[in-house]
Structure 1
Amino acid sequence: MPNADERLRILKLIEDGQVNAEEGAQLIDALGESRERSRPTPSRTLRVRVTNLATRRQTINVTIPVSLVEVGLKLGARLAPRVANANPNDILRALESGATGRIFELQDLNENERIEIFVE
């Protein structure tokens, strides 16, 4: 949201007839949007954890920066074809929505493993 000084400047432009009310509203909206985009986002990570169901020991525990998730999903599909059945778009949508916590879980009874993906 624009600060009070920015809003007053836009209102003054409207008052002076340099912009109409609709244009002024668009300027205020644009300032608010640019502030939202320029805010630093906290560094988020995606954690992939594979646990052996019999021993309850973690066999894989990998952390990936969210900025590299798309590459990680492609690499993961090659390295773990059984996870490739999961829809990577679901994971990407969860990231875009700002979800945190566990966003995916699969129990592979053939391999006796549980695969979990978390956003932290």
Structure 2
Amino acid sequence: MAHVSVSNGLLVVEIEGLDRLWAVKSRIEIPLGNVRGATLDPGILREPKGVKAGGTYFPGLITAGTFRSGGEWVFWDVKNPARAVVIELADERYSRLIVEVDDPHATVDLVERRKGAPPAGPVAAER
């Protein structure tokens, strides 16, 4: 599972618990100017993952790590697709971050309110 917050002009995605091991990553920081938006997409797990470049993939159990699909890099950290949020990025290594969060609606709202914003102070985060 991931924790998504906004701080100092950055979208911060912190991978929690054992997912750090499965995803081979613990934190991703993206300037808000490069965040295009976020959506809920429980059907995202049915999408082809592409080639795993580091991480874990057990169909139906966990998709975590970096995958190359359609010429783009995508970061995944999802076990429960009902809690999946897709964060679209521009001008970053990853074109999308697909992460499972505690409150998908609050996370999408947070990202949508702050996307493309110039640097600002800390904002209350989804937990």
TM-score normalised over the length of structure 2? 0.31
When Rg is computed on C-alpha atoms for both structures, the one with the higher figure is 1
Answer 1 or 2: higher relative contact order, Cα 8 Å, separation at least 6.
2
TM-score normalised over the length of structure 1? 0.33
Question: Which has the larger strand fraction?
Answer: 2
Question: Which has the larger helix fraction?
Answer: 1
